[in-house]
């Protein structure tokens, strides 16, 4: 490939409007040949296997495969530019990386700088490009879900496996993980735990409560439209479900 050849780009984004806008902007530069685009990551991978691609403009959050999953399946020669809706504070650390990012909505001047970087890197060794991609992927990937919660008791820390926790409650300015045997005070807030616990297992049903979906025995509708969750524990614990969270709970339990 000669230095003056147009950059061959493939675009992947599950938002049709964002995909069309980026394609128009790249075409308008005169520096890029858009060789394909797709809203489905699986389709994109299949098409890219059959066409020469210099760079993939890749959305991060998509249904099915995420942008991180797509990166892991790309050939080492393919450069990646992440497109993201993260705020500037979240992506500030990547300003100096060789493989770039674009903040949505994409600005023409920022796109030009990205194309400059891609053009400069096009001739570099594949191993160097791959190392930067892997660095970005590690940095942007969210931390794994917790498999235990920590409770401080004096000078020791007790680790409670999340599968033993029936629910988490906040009261009296403290947060407690509740198991069938005991309550354990935690340092984290409900909001923090909502982000760190597996959403396939735990659901926030009230501003002060997270429930382990596997611990629910019954739902009870009461007068006034209030919904109660009754748990399987020996105490038959009852938790109030906020009205704005009733639908989400019913959807997770397959009731709507």
Winning range, highest mean pLDDT, from 59-68, 73-82, 201-210: 201-210
Q: How far apart are CA 49 and CA 199, in angstroms?
A: 34
Which residues make Cβ contacts (< 8 Å) with residue 223, sequence separation at least 6? none
16-29 helix and 108-121 helix, angle to the nearest 10 degrees? 70
Handedness of CA 98, 102, 106, 110 (dihedral sign): negative
Return the structure tokens found at 73. Answer: 């399946």
Quick: pLDDT tens for 12-69. Answer: 999 998 999 999 999 999 999 999 999 999 999 999 999 999 999 998 888 888 888 8
- With vertex at residue 39, the alpha carbon angle to CA 41 and CA 102, rounded to the nearest 5 degrees, is 90
What confidence category does residue 84 fall into, taking pLDDT thresholds of 50, 70 and 90?
confident
Mean pLDDT score, 145-169: 92
From 53, 36, 35, 57, select the one nearest 104 (Cα to Cα): 57
Bigger pLDDT: 242 vs 155? 242
- Angstrom CA distances, 186 to 165, 179, 226, stand at 13, 13, 29
pLDDT score, position 155: 82
The average pLDDT across 137-141 equals: 67
- What is the pLDDT of the chain when averaged over all its residues? 85
The length of the chain is 256
What confidence score (pLDDT) does residue 90 get?
Answer: 43
DSSP character string of 19-75:
HHHHHHHHHHHSSEEEEEEESSHHHHHHHHTTS--SEEEEES--SSS-HHHHHHHS-
Task: Give the β-pairing of 227-231 and 238-241.
Answer: antiparallel
227-231, strands of its sheet edge to edge:
216-221, 227-231, 238-241
Residue 21's φ and ψ, nearest 5 degrees, are -65, -45
Q: For residues 78 and 69, is the Cβ–Cβ distance under 8 A?
A: no
Quick one: tokens of 138? 């590690």
Q: Which residues contact 239 (CB under 8 A, 6 or more apart)?
A: 167, 169, 205, 206, 209, 211, 228, 229, 231
Name the residue among 176, 196, 202, 172 with its Cα closest to residue 187: 176
pLDDT at position 126 is 46
Which pLDDT tens digit goes with each residue over 99-115?
Answer: 677 888 888 999 999 99
Which two three-digit tokens encode residue 6? 């147009």
Instruction: Give the chain's domains with CATH numbers.
Output: 7-140 (3.40.50.2300), 148-252 (2.40.50.1020)
pLDDT at site 236: 94
């Amino acid at each position: 490939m000669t230095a003056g050849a147009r950059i061959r780009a493939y675009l992947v984004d599950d938002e049709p409007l964002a995909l069309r806008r980026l394609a128009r902007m790249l075409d308008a530069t005169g520096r890029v040949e858009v060789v394909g685009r797709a809203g489905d990551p699986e389709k994109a991978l299949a098409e890219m296997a059959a066409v020469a691609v210099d760079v993939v403009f890749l959305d991060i959050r998509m249904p099915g495969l995420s942008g991180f999953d797509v990166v892991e399946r790309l050939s080492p020669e393919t450069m990646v530019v992440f497109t993201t809706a993260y705020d500037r504070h979240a992506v500030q650390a990547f300003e100096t990386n060789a493989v770039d990012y674009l903040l949505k909505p994409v600005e023409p001047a920022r796109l030009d700088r990205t194309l400059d970087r891609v053009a400069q890197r096009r001739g570099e060794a594949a191993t160097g490009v791959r190392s930067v991609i892997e660095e970005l992927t590690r940095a942007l990937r969210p931390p794994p879900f917790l498999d235990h919660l920590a409770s401080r008791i004096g000078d020791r820390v007790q680790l409670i496996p999340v599968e033993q926790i029936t629910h988490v409650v906040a009261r009296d300015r403290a947060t407690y993980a509740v198991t069938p045997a005991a309550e354990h005070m935690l340092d984290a807030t409900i909001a923090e735990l909502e982000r760190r616990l597996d959403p396939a297992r735990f659901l926030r049903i009230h501003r002060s409560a997270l429930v382990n979906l596997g611990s629910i025995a019954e739902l009870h509708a009461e007068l006034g439209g209030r919904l109660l969750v009754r748990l399987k524990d020996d105490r038959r614990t009852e938790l109030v479900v906020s009205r704005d969270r009733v639908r989400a709970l019913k959807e997770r339990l397959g009731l709507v």
